[in-house]
Amino acid sequence: MKIAFVGKGGSGKTTLSSLFIRHLAAVGAPVVAIDADINQHLGPALGLDEAEAAALPAMGERLPLIKDYLRGSNPRVRSAATMIKTTPPGAGSRLVRVREPNPVYDACARPVELDGGAVRLMVTGPFTDADLGVACYHSKTGAVELFLNHLVDGPDEYVVVDMTAGSDSFASGMFTRFDMTFLVAEPTRKGVSVYRQYKEYARDFGVALKVVGNKIQDQDDSDFLRAEVGDDLLVTFGRSDWVRAMEKGRPPRFDLLEESNARALHTLRATADATYELRDWERYTRQMVHFHLKNAEAWGNERTGADLAAQVDPGFVLSEDIGAGVTAPA
């Protein structure tokens, strides 16, 4: 299952995504965790110290390797240099899976030990001083989008992405790559403004969206969010001594998390799992192609000097039935 956590800056989306990842690890589920936020805080939220977090390999810096591997023998993609963030897979492309090893994981993922097991952590890499004035952060998150485009995942395995803050996620088609999107909102007008933007943008793409209320202090806070977002409000998280200790770098055992917050995490997982029966791989592939053609016309063809529409394999549909190997059948 592919799950995104979004929300305005400071809403607590990284904290809640890290709690959800810990919850999945505690029940033994295979997890790939991806930090796609410009502020790279997911590693520390999962218990890494500053040096360990800084040493994580950046996907953005390994984009040529990622492209070369995913391209495989796809004859429609003439070279790795002509691949852009939206390039869809086709016959001959290499696909990635949550459980299987592959060179992308070898280069970009590192195991993080948590209560109950380990997760694979991948990061886009920070936006550095060298990028100022010459780069866009979406060029870094493009590595994540390309990875998701070539990912085949099944039930009871999870890819959890801590997304960029606010509505920046809509700068590409990556917001359509998820089975479930959890929008973290504080009980304030600013807190729900991103929800309204997300709801509006996602309306035409069938994005499954639920609101997770955070920093809830009393019933009035819950009532405010319910009045603002209606039935989209799924669960709320209140004050947490466990989180407070985690933010100080001294997290207790995860089974000591407050019962109410632990129940909320169970609800998040159950809600995400329920979307499995609603999967539509044809729509998923069609949306992938839609954004690829849009990007090709807007800037991709000019930048690469190639007709990127020719990369689309009209007979290819990404799905779990595509086979156990890493290469899509012809």
Residue 19 has what pLDDT? 97
Residue 316 lies in a domain: no
Number of domains making up the chain: 1
| CATH number where 226 lies | 3.40.50.300
Q: Which residues contact 73 (CB under 8 A, 6 or more apart)?
A: 92, 327
pTM for this predicted structure = 0.93
The whole-angstrom separation of Cα 215 and Cα 200 is: 24
Residue 319 lies in a domain: no
Q: Which residue from 204, 219, 214, 143 is spatially nearest to 182, judged by alpha carbons?
A: 214
Residue 51 has what pLDDT? 93
User: 14-37 burial string, b = 16+ CB within 10 Å, else e?
Assistant: bbbbbbbbbbbbbeebbbbbbbbb
In DSSP notation, 47-67 reads T--HHHHHTSPBGGGGHHHHH
- What's the domain range around 286? 2-311
Residue 61 lies in a domain: yes
Residue 326 has what pLDDT? 42
Residue 134 has what pLDDT? 39
Residue 126 has what pLDDT? 66
Say which amino acid occupies 187: P
Averaged pLDDT, groups of 10, the chain, 330 residues long: 92 95 95 92 93 94 95 96 96 96 97 90 74 48 94 96 77 88 94 88 90 95 96 95 91 93 97 96 96 95 96 96 53
Residue 107 lies in a domain: yes
DSSP 141: H
Residue 125 has what pLDDT? 81
Residue 167 has what pLDDT? 64
Residue 318 lies in a domain: no
Write phi, then psi, for 161 (nearest 5 degrees). -115, 125
Residue 330 lies in a domain: no
Residue 321 lies in a domain: no
Residue 320 lies in a domain: no
Residue 132 has what pLDDT? 42
